[in-house]
């Protein structure tokens, strides 16, 4: 059973990685927007083979490598993408609630992506 959990978690993380490779740069027709909401850390739980959504109480740099999403005030979920510098600003920010993030938004078949500036 433990092997199965590791396999499922590996597939989830691989999917996130592939999605990030495919969408590393915004398309030219996107407009710059500022979105306000809560940043959610998607922390992997290797033992259970799941991902735990957490709103951090401070910088999340001491947690294992993970992805971030932004849940806006109007309940849209944005997958955060962009260059390492912009994503590090999100991770290093001590406040993850009621934040404003500026970037280029793109609606895809899989959901919204916000390319962090």
Q: What is the dihedral of CA 79, 114, 34, 74, to 10 degrees?
A: -40
| pTM, to two decimals | 0.74
Query: How confident is the prediction along the chain (117 residues), in pLDDT tens digits per residue?
Result: 544 444 444 444 445 544 554 444 555 557 899 999 999 999 999 999 999 999 999 999 899 999 999 999 999 999 999 999 999 999 999 999 999 999 999 999 999 999 998
Q: What is the total count of domains within the chain?
A: 1
Beta-sheet pairing, 67-72 with 99-108: unpaired
The C-alpha atoms of residue 37 and residue 97 are separated, in whole angstroms, by 6
Give me 105's structure tokens.
């938004």
Range of the domain at 47: 2-116
By the 8 A CB rule, do 116 and 78 touch? no
| Residue whose pair of structure tokens reads 């398309």 in the numeric block | 27
């Amino acid at each position: 059973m433990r092997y199965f959990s590791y396999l499922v978690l590996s597939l989830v993380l691989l999917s996130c990685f592939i999605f990030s490779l495919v969408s590393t740069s915004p398309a030219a027709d996107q407009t710059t927007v500022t979105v306000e909401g809560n940043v959610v850390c998607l922390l992997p739980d290797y033992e259970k083979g799941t991902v735990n959504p957490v709103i951090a109480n401070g910088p999340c740099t001491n947690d294992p490598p993970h992805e971030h999403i932004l849940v806006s005030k109007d309940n849209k979920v944005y997958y955060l993408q962009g260059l390492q510098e912009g994503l590090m600003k999100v991770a290093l920010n001590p406040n993850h609630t009621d934040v404003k993030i500026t970037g280029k938004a793109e609606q895809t078949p899989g959901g919204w992506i916000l390319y962090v500036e």
